Amino acid sequence: MDSVKVGVVGCGTVGSGVVKILLENGRLIKERTGKEIELTLVADRNVERVRKLGVPEELIVDDGFAVVESDVDIVVELVGGTTVAKDIVRKALENGKHVVSANKALFASFGEELFSIAAKNGVSIRFEASVGGGIPVVKALNEGLIANKVEKILGIINGTANFILTEMTERGISFEEALEVAKEMGYAEANPSLDVDGIDAAHKIAILASIAYGGWITIDDVYVKGIREITPLDVDFAHEFGYKIKLLAVAKPDDGKVEVRVHPAMLPEGHILSSVDGVFNACLIEGDFVGPTLYYGMGAGQKPTASAVVADVADIACGRGSSVPVSLLGRGARIPVKRPGEFVSSFYLRFTAVDKPGVLAKISSILGKFNISIKMALQKSIEFNGGVPVVMTTHEAAFETVKEAIAEIDELDVIVKPTFLCMIEE
């Protein structure tokens, strides 16, 4: 293609950024690629928003399907969600259009179906911006690490949750207070559930795991737990034990299955991901030959995400690379995924107990009954949720066994609140 026609569907934060880049840096992109990337149509229900970007009136429509049915070569879908967006992407592919999207929820739920349609119609889907904003982690997995077996992926891939945990760590404030700061600064939505409950990160790790391990993994395969239960006390105890708390996304193969999970985790303070603070994202990918590699940067926001979208458009125009590993295209393969009960980890346990002698002995007795070995233990005579905190870290144990032990401990008359559990990623 010497000239490529592009239609943008959805002109919100990211869509506006894409339009700005194509209008302002079109000449630069042509100089670097040798391709004329022509902004042909921009669709948004709020046409006034599009006009304010300086888009010529004849290029503005209020119906995304008008773009799909036009003569554009590439449809950039930035509507979001899994309803209208799915219909637009499906129709575009069926009409022989290439698709570029930042829609993590769509690909984590319907990737297998959509990529199969793309393969059938001889077109590609590019989705770099769906994970890590402007960080080229998809391309790294898809191309740069193609010669490696991926032994592990560890990611801090939600900037909102990372900002909240950073505020709690640095300022000693509660989750609720840190969330309000995040909202005031525009990092958190009015309804922050997708971020703080780990769902956004789960979509992203499902996509990365699918690429890394050559089979489709969906959001339903991911164990997910958010950060709402973390308290300043947990942050302080983590520091005493030599850890920092992060919302961590993990994918790793083990004995013919893949373990995929998102949850708060304690990382050693010297771990490279422990230094990733604020709204920044980072992804640590370890290959069998290349060893550990790190991808770090702004994981969201208009400019970084729009930059990744336009890079995908340029790659299609230049015929560079593949939108997804050939092993996935149309194969319909599913990878066996570990259930949470099969996870093995070290754990941090925070019990809330009455302040009287013998509490630690009762807890330790039950843990011993389940063959759970205690690594460190602390009990402090401070008021916490109607009791006093008793905290422990364990050696490695099966998640299911630890949960069974906690269920029995929580039935003790000396325990006044449900026990909080957090995995430790050494």
Report the catalytic residues. Answer: 204
CA–CA gap between residue 23 and residue 370 (Å, rounded): 64
* Paired tokens of 372: 């759970």
- Collapsing DSSP to helix, strand or coil, 294 comes out as strand
DSSP string spanning 148-187? S-EEEEEEE--HHHHHHHHHHHHH---HHHHHHHHHHTTS
- Collapsing DSSP to helix, strand or coil, 354 comes out as coil
Quick one: the chain helix, strand, coil %, rounded to 5? 40, 25, 30
Residue with tokens 């230094």: 275
CA–CA gap between residue 6 and residue 224 (Å, rounded): 37
Q: How far are the Cα atoms of 273, 276, 280 from residue 296, in angstroms, in the given order?
A: 10, 8, 7
Residue with tokens 């370890």: 286
In eight-state DSSP terms, residue 53 is: T
Contact 123, 90 (CB under 8 A): no
- CA-atom Rg of the chain in angstroms: 24
DSSP E strand boundaries for 227-327: 243-254, 257-268, 280-287, 291-298
* Paired tokens of 69: 């049915």
CA–CA gap between residue 266 and residue 274 (Å, rounded): 9
Q: What angle do CA 382, 386, 390 make, to 5 degrees?
A: 50
